[in-house]
């Protein structure tokens, strides 16, 4: 996942940047050994580029020797009370942008913009964020809006992944399965990002239980890990970002479970803090080392 900022040092944005500027950023990823990227709209909003600029971006990515197996939107909830209409329109444009330049999958979620307290915190998950309206009427509306996006995506040959995230309609394994069943579209699956859940400073659903339930419905996967420490006498919880192989989640086991369940999609390595590009590269090599040991013999 591209960890680069959308707003540049001079106050301009990546949208306005030249192809040479894009290439310079992509070269950082190539130098770190990546062959694929998820450009993510925290870096570049391909939905808001003109068609000519989108084609220019695609050519620049190819010239760097990179591929794009998926594109993630971030904090563009179609159920945000203040900006759902804008976010829904944006999501439709993002689907068309993916189809236009050959990106086969788009990742959506119900997470909303960070609150001022979250934006100020060392780690944003230490502060409570927005909570979805879980009334029957609101949830039904959420299902209908994802169905709308899913049908559009199917028409243009794009898959949709729905990202697990706390306090949303996709906050627990069971709520995700029920939501997928209600959406009932073959091109809509789940991104079981249980790192989003493990890092919370509260009681959380065990990652292994989430994996057992969601990996059979997975079509894309953001992977990140955290150290998690719980003090049973006080209820205190502490978490901190960790490389995949060192954190609390056993990703060797999780990846093996995913492969056994039939997952053949892309792994998107993600990390917060420090040199996330290099930690992501370490995570990438860990996955490459683990995969040959968990793929069933043909």
pTM comes to 0.96
Mean pLDDT (the chain, rounded) = 96
Q: Return the CATH fold of 14-221.
A: TIM Barrel (3.20.20)
> In this predicted model, what pLDDT tens digit does every residue of 209-255 receive, in sequence order?
999 999 999 999 999 999 999 999 998 999 999 999 999 999 999 99
> In this predicted model, what pLDDT tens digit does every residue of 37-74 receive, in sequence order?
999 999 999 999 999 999 999 999 999 999 999 999 99
Are 92 and 149 in contact, with CB atoms under 8 Å apart? yes
- Evaluate if residue 101 carries a pLDDT over 60: yes
> In this predicted model, what pLDDT tens digit does every residue of 248-292 receive, in sequence order?
999 999 999 999 999 999 999 999 999 999 999 999 999 999 998
Give domain limits for the chain: 14-221, 222-298
| pLDDT the model gives residue 295 | 80
Position 294 confidence tier, pLDDT thresholds 50, 70, 90: confident
> In this predicted model, what pLDDT tens digit does every residue of 187-222 receive, in sequence order?
999 999 999 999 999 999 999 999 999 999 999 999
Position 297 confidence tier, pLDDT thresholds 50, 70, 90: low
CA 205 to chain centroid, in Å, comes to: 19
| pLDDT the model gives residue 45 | 97
| pLDDT the model gives residue 298 | 47
Q: What is the DSSP string of the chain?
A: -----SB-TTS-BGGG--HHHHHHHHHHHHHTT-SB---TTTT--GGGS-HHHHHHHHHHHHHTT-B-S-EE--S--TT-TTTHHHHHHHHHHHHHHHHHHT--EEEE----PPPHHHHHSSSGGGS-------SHHHHHHHHHHHHHHHHHHHHTT-EEEEE--TTSTTSSHHHHHHHHHHH--TTEEEE--THHHHTSSS----HHHHHHHHGGGBS-EEE-EEEEEEETTTTEEEEEEE-TTTSSS-HHHHHHHHHHTT--S-EEE---SS-HHHHHHHHHHHHHHHHHHHSPP-
- Evaluate if residue 106 carries a pLDDT over 60: yes
Percent with pLDDT over 70 in the chain: 99
How would you classify residue 86: left for phi > 0, otherwise alpha for psi between -120 and 50, otherwise beta? alpha
Q: Report the C-alpha gap between 66 and 24 in whole angstroms.
A: 13
| pLDDT the model gives residue 17 | 96
């Amino acid at each position: 996942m591209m960890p680069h900022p959308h707003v540049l040092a001079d106050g301009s944005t990546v949208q306005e940047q030249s192809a040479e500027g894009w290439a310079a950023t992509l070269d950082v990823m190539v130098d770190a050994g990546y062959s694929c990227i998820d450009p993510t709209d925290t870096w570049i909003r391909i939905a808001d580029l003109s068609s000519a600029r989108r084609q220019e971006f695609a050519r620049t990515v190819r010239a760097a020797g990179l591929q794009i197996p998926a594109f993630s939107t971030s904090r563009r909830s179609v159920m945000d009370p203040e900006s759902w209409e804008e976010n829904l329109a944006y999501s439709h444009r993002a689907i068309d942008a993916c189809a236009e330049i050959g990106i086969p999958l788009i990742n959506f979620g119900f997470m909303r913009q960070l609150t001022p307290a979250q934006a100020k915190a060392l780690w944003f998950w230490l502060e409570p964020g927005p909570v979805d309206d879980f009334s029957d009427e609101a949830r039904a509306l959420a299902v209908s809006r994802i169905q709308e996006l899913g049908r559009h995506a199917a028409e243009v040959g794009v898959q949709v992944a729905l990202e697990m995230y706390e306090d949303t309609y996709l906050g627990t394994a069971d709520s995700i399965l029920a939501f997928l069943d209600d959406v009932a579209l073959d091109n809509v699956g789940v991104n079981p990002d249980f790192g989003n859940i493990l890092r919370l400073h509260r009681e959380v659903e065990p990652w292994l239980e989430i994996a057992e339930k969601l990996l059979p419905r997975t079509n894309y996967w953001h992977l990140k890990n955290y150290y998690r420490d719980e003090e049973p006498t006080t209820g205190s919880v502490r978490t901190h970002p960790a490389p995949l192989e060192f954190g609390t989640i056993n990703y060797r086991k999780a990846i093996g479970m995913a492969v056994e369940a039939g997952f053949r999609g892309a792994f998107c390595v993600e990390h917060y803090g420090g040199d996330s590009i290099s930690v992501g590269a370490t995570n990438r090599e860990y996955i490459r080392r683990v995969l040959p040991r968990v793929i069933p013999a043909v």
